[in-house]
Amino acid sequence: AQSVTQLDSHVSVSEGTPVLLRCNYSSSYSPSLFWYVQHPNKGLQLLLKYTSAATLVKGINGFEAEFKKSETSFHLTKPSAHMSDAAEYFCVVSDSGGYNKLIFGAGTRLAVHP
Amino acid sequence: DAGVTQSPTHLIKTRGQHVTLRCSPISGHKSVSWYQQVLGQGPQFIFQYYEKEERGRGNFPDRFSARQFPNYSSELNVNALLLGDSALYLCASSSTTGRVVEQYFGPGTRLTVT
């Protein structure tokens, strides 16, 4: 069965410093992985996705993630945090069935301080 | 183009009542999925419909049901509401099914059961 584990429930950074949100996955085959962001009282927005092409995936708003098979990781990074990045971030794996059921991690709340 | 729309935005119901939530997918999208997000947790998959047929069902009781209409909009029905059904219900649409297909989420319906 597919699953994802987000290693930090809360991350706090200062504006202008790097962001690292950690995610490990479990999958019996080559996974499809996603990062979604959820701002307060808003729906989920897709940041980026990995689908077995390039291992370094660039997304919106300056975010990127690197797929590392040997470490079963898919960490999300951004070189310089902005106040508007404060939100809940979800690492997601797509199920192996014939449909695209998404399996979400528990989420990481990112706080950005001035 | 309009994104995924959901109605109502908020809903308050009493235990034992029935509720119907509605979702309109992005124009041209034929697949709709429903997720439940309990406060402080990641979304959990409830159903997926594609071309008006159920393609997948999550681990939810039979009190939960859904359907998709010829115009690809969808309804989620929950009978005999319990306090534990209080959650944000998210609808997502995609052009088709498959592990690598992106899903686009609506803003959700916040259901409170008292």
Structure confidence by residue, pLDDT tens digits, A44-100: 999 999 987 788 999 999 999 999 999 999 999 999 999 999 999 999 998 766 667
Chain A nearest C-alpha distance from B95 (Å): 11
Contact: B43, A90; criterion CB under 8 Å: yes
What pLDDT is attached to residue B15? 98
Contact: B42, A98; criterion CB under 8 Å: no
**B45-96 pLDDT, tens per residue?**
999 999 999 988 999 999 999 999 999 999 999 999 999 999 999 999 998 7
Gap between the Cα atoms of B86 and A41, Å rounded: 15
The SS3 assignment for B73 reads coil
Contact: A102, B55; criterion CB under 8 Å: no
Burial A84-108 (b: 16+ CB within 10 A, else e): ebbbbbbbbbbbeeebbbbbbbebb
